[in-house]
């Protein structure tokens, strides 16, 4: 029997200002809160995943109110530790939500103006979606043949569709919401089928490619596979990238002298139509900004500008380009002050007159941890150079994991931590992944925004050159 959660504590009157036509207001009561703050957020667009957030405090009655600017129907996320709730809100919505922060079995209660889509969606997530989630199915992939996996994915897709179409609210739901949900269901199915070979290989190393039944990949031949009407769906956006990556894998070693972003850009240019193509081209340029040498990235950026016509995507990429250029060699390294692993305040300016090898990393990052032995050897080779500082900034959201890893791995250097990529410092440094390194000179200016990693034989010469300046 479905469990519905009602607040049985004192009745709390939630008072909020009526939202304008381009706003939404969300008020809430949280039972058993795990924090004194609530984050309410939404994605402005799919390119680069820019998340707009409002953080609000709970009052003495465990209530909160947040207002977001929203000019179209959108998924909105309410996050507290151990709970992440999605609503779908239309402009002008004024909703009230009641939920238990510590018990995901209790379905949130959503009421208010324009609340119907959210009421449907919280039930959909609880009753159907979580039983056929990507994580759940891919974790089963190692034990399922391709035919069995296909059956599980198709079964989940059919159950999701049936829940939507047979729901008592179906004909009252916003049509754009229904269309978005249908698109998302379909491309979630496609994505799982594309990810199955990788998941199977992960759980069965050395077993070779699984035997695929006839028709397993027939959906890739659908003439309506791509369309501008699908581009609001995050599942569709992921599908395009998985689709292109599969095509690259089938090319083998062709074009491997290029970076991944360049190869994906080239493939998208010819394989995708319309807005779909421009979205992926833009995303690959942003990826290039994060991982390619500056001149290479600028070349990809120039190609994008010559091809793109969608002004909103152009504006996003141009804005990111300005951020990248602010981190180009010769520019001042953005200043910051953080608390180190010993509880002391540390600022970048504390190291004026020295060369700083800045390493953004995380304890959960495999490539980061593979650099640790090389970093130890590098420090031994640089032991007679007191003017070089090895400065580490971890993006671990789990502070204990960060501290334990530094201690267990005996990583020597200055250690700072920020809770995730969305913190101000990673944002200022345009961090798009880890490990990422910066080399900062004695004058506080960036010498190299993509210096070699410790495992690269060229790193000694690069550091010595910086010390000689």
137-147 pLDDT, tens digit per residue, is: 999 999 999 99
| Residue 15: pLDDT band with limits 50, 70, 90 | very low
| Residue 291: pLDDT band with limits 50, 70, 90 | confident
d(CA 88, CA 75): 4
Look at strands 83-89 and 74-80 and give their pairing: antiparallel
Contact 40, 54 (CB under 8 A): yes
83 φψ region: left (φ > 0), alpha (ψ -120 to 50), beta (else): beta
How many Cα atoms within 13 Å fall on the side-chain side of residue 195? 21
Q: What's the chain's length in residues?
A: 469
Residue 12: the pLDDT is 38
Residue 411: the pLDDT is 96
Which range is least confidently modeled, 32-36, 84-88, 185-189?
Answer: 32-36
DSSP string, 52-84: EEEEEE--TTSEEEEEEE-SS-EEEEEEETTEE
* Residue 143, beta-bridge partner list: none
Residue 364 CB coordination number (10 Å): 16
On the 0-12 / 13-18 / 19+ scale of CB atoms within 10 A, 54 is: middle
Residue 254: the pLDDT is 66
Residue 293: the pLDDT is 84
Dihedral sign (CA 457, 461, 462, 463)? positive
On the 0-12 / 13-18 / 19+ scale of CB atoms within 10 A, 101 is: buried
Q: Per the omega criterion (within 30 degrees of 0), is the bond before 435 cis? A: yes
39-56 pLDDT, tens digit per residue, is: 999 998 888 877 888 989
Residue 5: the pLDDT is 39
Residue 394 CB coordination number (10 Å): 28
Contact 135, 192 (CB under 8 A): no
d(CA 138, CA 121): 23
d(CA 315, CA 306): 14
**pTM of the entire structure?**
0.83
Q: Which residues contact 377 (CB under 8 A, 6 or more apart)?
A: 454
Residue 14: the pLDDT is 40
3-state helix, strand, coil in the chain (%, to 5): 45, 20, 35
């Amino acid at each position: 029997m479905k469990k519905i959660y009602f607040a049985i504590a004192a009745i709390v009157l939630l008072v909020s200002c009526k939202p304008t036509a381009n706003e939404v207001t969300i008020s809430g009561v949280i039972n058993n809160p795990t924090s004194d703050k609530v984050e309410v957020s939404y994605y402005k667009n799919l390119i680069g995943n820019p998340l707009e957030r409002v953080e609000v405090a709970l009052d003495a009655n465990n209530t909160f109110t947040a207002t977001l600017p929203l000019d179209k129907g959108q998924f909105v996320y309410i996050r507290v530790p151990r709970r992440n709730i999605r609503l779908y809100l239309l402009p002008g919505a004024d909703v009230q939500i009641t939920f238990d922060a510590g018990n995901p079995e209790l379905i949130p209660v959503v009421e208010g103006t324009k609340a119907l889509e959210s009421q449907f969606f919280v039930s959909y997530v609880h009753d159907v979606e979580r039983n056929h989630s990507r994580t759940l199915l891919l974790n089963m992939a190692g034990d399922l043949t391709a035919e069995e996996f296909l059956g599980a994915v198709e079964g989940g897709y059919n159950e999701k569709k049936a829940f939507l179409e047979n729901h008592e609210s179906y004909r009252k739901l916003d049509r754009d919401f229904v269309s978005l949900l249908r698109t998302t269901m379909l491309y979630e199915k496609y994505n799982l089928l594309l990810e199955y070979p990788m998941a199977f290989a992960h759980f069965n190393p050395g077993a070779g490619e699984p035997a695929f039944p006839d028709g397993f990949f027939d959906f890739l031949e659908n003439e309506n596979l791509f369309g501008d009407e699908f581009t609001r769906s995050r599942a569709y956006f992921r599908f395009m990238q998985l689709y292109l990556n599969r095509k690259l894998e089938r090319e083998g070693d062709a074009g491997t002298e290029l970076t991944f972003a360049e190869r994906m850009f080239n493939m998208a240019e010819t394989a995708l139509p319309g807005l779909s193509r421009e979205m992926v081209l833009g995303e690959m340029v942003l990826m290039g900004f994060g991982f390619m040498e500056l001149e290479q990235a600028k070349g990809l950026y120039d190609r994008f500008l010559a091809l793109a016509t969608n002004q909103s995507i152009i504006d996003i990429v141009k804005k990111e380009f300005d951020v990248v250029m602010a981190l180009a060699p010769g520019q001042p390294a953005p200043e910051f002050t953080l608390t180190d692993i010993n509880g002391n305040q540390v600022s970048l300016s504390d190291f004026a007159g020295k060369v700083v090898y800045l390493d953004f990393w995380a304890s959960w990052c495999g490539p980061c941890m593979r650099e640790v032995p090389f970093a130890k050897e590098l420090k031994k080779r640089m032991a007679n150079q007191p003017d070089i500082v090895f400065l580490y900034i971890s993006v671990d959201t789990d502070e204990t994991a960060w501290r334990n890893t530094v201690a267990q791995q005996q990583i020597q250097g200055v250690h700072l931590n920020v809770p995730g990529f969305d913190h101000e410092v990673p944002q200022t440094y345009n961090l798009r992944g880890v490990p990422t390194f910066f080399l900062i000179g004695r004058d506080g200016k960036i010498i190299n925004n993509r210096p070699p990693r410790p495992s690269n034989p060229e790193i000694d010469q690069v550091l010595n050159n910086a010390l000689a300046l």
